[in-house]
Structure 1
């Protein structure tokens, strides 16, 4: 399968057509997706019609002209269901495209359908009563991640070169890491979320929640971010690998990480150092990470439940919410001070590689980390590093573990320095995967 940018270039050059590329992608899905179950809403007839319309027009310089892709089920596409995995919303059909979908179509993309998610986008695996379970293309006994698990699996399986996801608790970064593809959690103000609503609502966006691209290729990832962005995100000047200032963060006071992931991060640091980069393995500028985790989990819980009463928890008050906003502002300022000294922080996206399917409720679930039984929810400390201060973070594949499962890490950068995160991730990948 060509990259998205190469596919568009080949169509422009007359080497192939939008319809041929669409038919090829459909064939890949129909042949390979029975076991993986990534593409759960299929819109192949309309995709072929859209591809024919592009072929009948003169090919132009739109970046994704004729490129077939899928998008996460939680994004509205007119005429297709948006259920977020809830059985009671299985019959909900969107009447308009999400803004991000509009932008991708305007860039020439052909939408084949939608990919799987967990119920309410509230798990790090993708399984729900409407569409069933998505499996990891590298090992069907393992999860593909969540909540953009179907998106990452569709890219990893080679069905499509690019995808569209969302992230509040690692929902782009973790599936990308588990499936060995690229993913980018955008800065909070970078991309319009309109049309990514809870079914049958048009509510305000969920606090801390963002949308962003997934891709098999880093150039495609950057090009998709360009298409999606609301604002002109600054791009760093070209640099040599040795010109970056990197802080490694392989340890967390709350969450454990398996040895192979920590070793991979140190390996990236060694490679940057050998190239001449400044690499630190600790900094007094870091905020209190245990405190950050506590505030993040409180805000995440209130945001996902919209402040509803929960068993065993006090009802959150308006004073609680303003206190969280104050804590978030102080935390963001601490990270901003850190990024005056560093270009990027490299940390695990999650403390393990893809784990076995586990339908235990997430509040009761346990996770094996190198033979140690740990509380699953503590792992949210890793994605929370970037989510709570609303920073951009790129998930980049940098190796495999002893079981052959992909190891991905996140590269975190300063607010709106999304392309810096991608650039450092690109350098990391080049240094350790060549």
Structure 2
């Protein structure tokens, strides 16, 4: 990887003439082609990428207006449509599907100057939040330990960043599929406020594009090697279709670390953290306190974390029912009651954020675990149920709140801390993660 480890550093170097977009793109494509172990980037378009990079360098030389990601080569999750590249969702029945249009978020990234060089691996039909494997592209490994998972289903996205195979990524998050891989691979990942980034161009292959009227659960968002890159990516992709120019990212509540009031919970009986995770998170909180951050321990008033994790499980079932799988799983009365439960949970968290700026908790109870090919319901991690991974990510998902997974110092495998903020205050979580980790 070049000395420009973040997208912001890369585009700054390109703008200043310290590096060329073509050089960085050629280098990235060479690294991808040489990879025989991680298997994160599964398709590329070298001819397009090099032509776009040359055009980016010519624009710099001509003194043209440049976008915030000018000349930066990057990748996106395989499930996101890019015209001319396959979108298979890892399903062999869709191995030859090539969309003729790109997702709105891809168009916006391109308009911002980014160069989409290829796509990263996914789990089959995005059906695993803990692992990334499919019959078309095979299994993706964690760059920190090839015998372990990078997480799922955006495992290819996080692994590509950790392995230096891309400068920036865009993934999706229904059941932690951005945050869990980010934590396991030691990078940053953002699940934005529900509905902020358009979901068009993100649907199973061959399904006609229709408006998604259930955005609270499924979201698309960036992964990066710095918190600042998350901000840039969200700024250029957020806003309703056709109205991006009128959308603005809400400024952070604070720009100085010691001004933050931070709620903290680091463990829970439903998903007790491992010793490694617990030590790393405790050390991070202690470091924050030494820097003047006001730490307030405990769950928000009115929040029963076990109840909300259970409510999230129902909403996932509802999501799949609305998308054609198991439509008879519940009654109308139950759906109404669960919707009230979801909205009550959001109200409780919003009330909490009137006094607290961000809430910090684990992203997962564990670090990256060994690959596990057993049937889903037979898998365990550290003697605990496989789906215990979902507990810590469920609260922001249920309520639609923005959440950043940020890496924290660890003596072993990467550990992720989750930073949750108020509805539409994504940049408060991003800025806190930036300041807390010194990612820039």
Q: Same fold (TM over 0.5)?
A: yes
2:57 to 55, 58, 77: 55
1:188 to 184, 194, 205: 194
Q: How does 1:311-326 map to 2 (within 5 A)?
A: 315-326=329-340
In the other structure, the counterpart of 2:354 is 340
In the other structure, the counterpart of 1:167 is 173
* Cα pair distance change 1:181/1:309, threshold 3 Å: closer
CA distance in 1, matches of 2:340, 2:254: 37
CA distance in 2, matches of 1:115, 1:8: 22
Q: Which runs of 5+ in 1 are unaligned?
A: none
For the pair 1:383 / 2:393, whether they are aligned, the reply is: yes
* Cα pair distance change 1:42/1:333, threshold 3 Å: same
Q: Which segments of structure 1 move beyond 4 Å, counting only runs of 4 or more?
A: 307-310
For the pair 1:349 / 2:346, whether they are aligned, the reply is: no
2:313 to 276, 281, 297: 297
* Cα pair distance change 1:80/1:318, threshold 3 Å: farther
Aligned-residue RMSD, C-alpha: 1.9
After TM superposition, the score normalised by the length of structure 2 is: 0.92
In the other structure, the counterpart of 1:250 is 266
Deviations 1:89-127 (A, max 9, x none): 111111101000000000111111100000111212110
Deviation at 1:221, TM superposition (A): 1.8
CA distance in 1, matches of 2:335, 2:119: 34
Deviation at 1:407, TM superposition (A): 0.8
Deviations 1:134-154 (A, max 9, x none): 000111001011111101111
Deviation at 1:314, TM superposition (A): 6.5
- Contact 2:66–2:113 (8 Å) recurs in 1: no
In the other structure, the counterpart of 1:399 is 409
Q: How does 1:227-266 map to 2 (within 5 A)?
A: 227-230=236-239, 231-236=247-252, 238-266=254-282
CA distance in 1, matches of 2:10, 2:287: 32
For the pair 1:84 / 2:89, whether they are aligned, the reply is: yes
In the other structure, the counterpart of 2:289 is 273
In the other structure, the counterpart of 2:242 is none
Pairs aligned (count): 423
Deviation at 1:341, TM superposition (A): 2.0
Per the alignment, in what secondary structure is the counterpart of residue 140 of structure 1?
coil
- Contact 1:309–1:315 (8 Å) recurs in 2: no
CA distance in 2, matches of 1:314, 1:4: 46
Q: How does 1:63-102 map to 2 (within 5 A)?
A: 63-102=68-107
In the other structure, the counterpart of 1:155 is 161
- Contact 1:190–1:233 (8 Å) recurs in 2: no
For the pair 1:213 / 2:222, whether they are aligned, the reply is: yes
- Contact 2:359–2:419 (8 Å) recurs in 1: yes
1:285 to 272, 277, 301: 301
* Cα pair distance change 1:160/1:307, threshold 3 Å: closer
Deviation at 1:237, TM superposition (A): 5.1
* Cα pair distance change 1:53/1:240, threshold 3 Å: closer
CA distance in 1, matches of 2:310, 2:253: 37
2:133 to 127, 137, 147: 127
- Contact 1:399–1:408 (8 Å) recurs in 2: no
Deviation at 1:308, TM superposition (A): 5.3
2:113 to 108, 118, 126: 108
After TM superposition, the score normalised by the length of structure 1 is: 0.93
- Contact 1:308–1:315 (8 Å) recurs in 2: no
For the pair 1:223 / 2:228, whether they are aligned, the reply is: no
Deviation at 1:363, TM superposition (A): 2.9
For the pair 1:360 / 2:367, whether they are aligned, the reply is: no
- Contact 1:155–1:215 (8 Å) recurs in 2: yes
Segment of structure 1 superposing worse, 76-85 or 277-286: 277-286
Deviation at 1:305, TM superposition (A): 4.9
- Contact 2:258–2:292 (8 Å) recurs in 1: yes
- Contact 1:248–1:265 (8 Å) recurs in 2: no
CA distance in 1, matches of 2:374, 2:318: 22
For the pair 1:4 / 2:13, whether they are aligned, the reply is: no
